[in-house]
Amino acid sequence: MQDRLNRQLAFLTEIDTLKSVVRQSRIADSSRRENSAEHSWHLAMFALILADDGLDAGKIIAMLLIHDIVEIDAGDAPIHGVHDTAALEAAERQAADRLFGILPTDQATRLLSLWREFETAESPEARFAKGLDRLQPLLLNTLTGGGTWTENSVSEQQVYERYGPTIAGGSPLLWEHARTLVARHFGNRTP
């Protein structure tokens, strides 16, 4: 029992590092960039508030709380950056194995399974979670005068292409609202 507790506490200590992984998105008041731990918490709140009755909100929240833990080792890969996708996926898998492997086997297996489900978007809950993961920075960009879109010279069309399919795949209703926010930001009346 003591070994189990030691492993759980070691994991909880290790993931504290997520607080120091800085993302590109600015918080809503534009005063600073958010960190990955704040992003995960914010997404969990999105799920708590926005999840439809037909979805398992607890599972979605669990996915969102763990989905970016791999950034402790692999770093953040901003949506508007250029990445070697295969290398990034390999680095994230290796990070997931190491980080979740700190836990007792039953918990490591459960969290690794949830992380993989999120990554592959193989369930309605995972698709909804992925959609929220795109919706939150989209919302922040509209609240901060363009935020990372302006910094990275992202066009309206690129926003639709990079965010739209994932948000719509999780919730067509949320995408319809997000499209309106995007169109308004770029000065259009209709999306």
Over the stretch 80-108, which tens digit does the pLDDT of each residue have?
A: 888 888 999 999 999 999 999 999 999 99
107/134 Cα distance (integer angstroms): 27
Length reported for the chain? 191
Q: What is the pTM of this model?
A: 0.95
pLDDT digits (tens, 9 = 90+) for 101-153: 999 999 999 999 999 999 999 999 999 999 999 999 999 999 999 999 999 99
Name the CATH superfamily housing domain 2-185: Hypothetical protein af1432 (1.10.3210.10)
All structural domains of the chain with their residue ranges = 2-185
128 in Cβ contact with 60 (< 8 Å): yes
Structure-token match 């990070």, residue found: 95
Question: Are 72 and 99 spatial neighbours (Cβ–Cβ below 8 Å)?
Answer: yes
Q: Determine the pLDDT at residue 189.
A: 53
